[in-house]
Copies of this chain bind each other. A is one copy, B any other.
């Protein structure tokens, strides 16, 4: 996850030109023909400078000046079930991928199947979220941008995830239980109302909304495009900046 700055290229151009011009000057000094000279110098140069350029490149391969890492961060989506976290996270993920950034996508629906023994008691959810936060932080530390979406209804485990990350950006899907329930295609709220689930956030347990989310998405009013744009703008302004 590296790119080369313009400074680096300017320096390479300067260092290359120093070598190449000295070589050309010496060659032209030695051969003093007139018309044929242009061709001779050209041909001679092909052999003389080709090797020089190559070794020049290989030398720069060992120099780290002007090579930069794009700053990584953890973008953590939290909110009630069916609040639109996953769709929005996917949409932002796709935008980031367009810029060829190194991005990893983590969703509770992808992680939980790997650990079927993880239940839904507050204790188990907290442990699940903390481990996910640790995973995010380790990826971030190694230069990977992480787009994570977990209901993560409890403040303490979200705060844990924040505490071990370097650059944690919390995205809160601001909506109501009623609004989520009305758009819940999978029927999870219905099942929770019937008592088929325990510990269902918004029905059995309270979802603890964040006090200090970096981004609050008005999930009931904004379209997917608008909320994607809100987040991408925030990232470009505060995190990615111009690279």
How far apart sit A134 and B130, CA to CA, in the bound complex (Å)? 14
In whole Å, how far is A122's beta carbon from the nearest beta carbon of chain B? 12
Main secondary structure of the interface of A (DSSP, over half): helix
Q: Which residues of chain B come closer than 8 Å to A143, judged between CB atoms?
A: 102
A234 touches B (CB below 8 Å): no
Within 8 A of B (CB), among A102-142: 102, 104, 111, 114-115, 117-118, 123, 127, 130-131, 134-135, 138-139, 141-142
Within 8 A of B (CB), among A1-45: 1-4, 6, 9-10, 12-14, 16-17, 20-22, 24-29, 32, 34-35, 37-39, 41-42, 45
A interface residues, tally (CB under 8 Å): 59
In whole Å, how far is A52's beta carbon from the nearest beta carbon of chain B? 9
Asked whether B135 lies within 8 Å of A14 as measured between CB atoms, the reply is no
Asked whether A25 lies within 8 Å of B12 as measured between CB atoms, the reply is no
In whole Å, how far is A104's beta carbon from the nearest beta carbon of chain B? 6
Q: Which residues of chain B come closer than 8 Å to A123, judged between CB atoms?
A: 117
Please tell me how many copies of the chain the complex holds: 2
How far apart sit A1 and B35, CA to CA, in the bound complex (Å)? 49
| Partner among B42, B58, B61, B127 whose Cβ is within 8 Å of the Cβ of A24 | B42
| Partner among B32, B54, B104 whose Cβ is within 8 Å of the Cβ of A34 | B32
In whole Å, how far is A225's beta carbon from the nearest beta carbon of chain B? 28
Excluding A16-B53, A32-B35, 18 further A-B contacts by CB distance (< 8 Å) are A2-B2, A3-B61, A4-B61, A9-B54, A9-B61, A17-B46, A17-B53, A20-B20, A24-B24, A24-B38, A25-B38, A25-B41, A25-B42, A28-B28, A104-B141, A104-B142, A139-B139, A142-B142
14 pairs, A vs B, C-beta closer than 8 Å:
A16-B53, A21-B42, A21-B46, A24-B42, A26-B38, A28-B37, A34-B34, A37-B37, A114-B130, A114-B134, A114-B164, A115-B134, A135-B138, A139-B139
